[in-house]
């Protein structure tokens, strides 16, 4: 009985550790290729860097703020 319990926990721990190791190995090349693609798109543009990415930063920060505050109602109800 105890051996069976440890076997199940070991597989869960191994899965968590593998995901922590594999995710950066996948994310780093993907982000590198994405940045190369973005630099390729804006290489001949006359606008400054600030003007190019201003709208993107505003949209991404608004999405982050919305998602950050999305769980506030549940927290308030949980306290009540």
Domain layout of the chain by residue ranges: 1-44, 46-80
Per-residue pLDDT reduced to its tens digit, 31-76: 999 999 988 887 887 767 777 778 888 888 888 888 777 766 665 5
Which tokens belong to 12? Answer: 């869960």
Which tokens belong to 21? Answer: 């190791």
User: Cα 75 vs. chain centroid, distance in angstroms?
Assistant: 23
Which tokens belong to 8? Answer: 């199940």
CA atoms lying within 13 Å on the CB side of residue 74: 4
Distances (CA, A) of 72 to 25, 59, 64, 67: 34, 21, 14, 10
pTM for the model stands at 0.51
């Amino acid at each position: 009985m105890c051996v069976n319990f440890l076997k199940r926990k070991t597989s869960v721990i191994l899965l968590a550790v593998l995901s922590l190791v594999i995710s950066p190995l996948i994310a780093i090349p993907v982000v590198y290729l994405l940045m190369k693609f973005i630099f390729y798109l804006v290489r001949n543009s006359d606008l400054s860097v600030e003007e190019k990415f201003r709208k993107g930063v505003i949209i991404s920060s608004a999405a982050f703020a919305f998602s950050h505050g999305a769980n506030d109602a549940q927290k308030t109800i949980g306290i009540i």
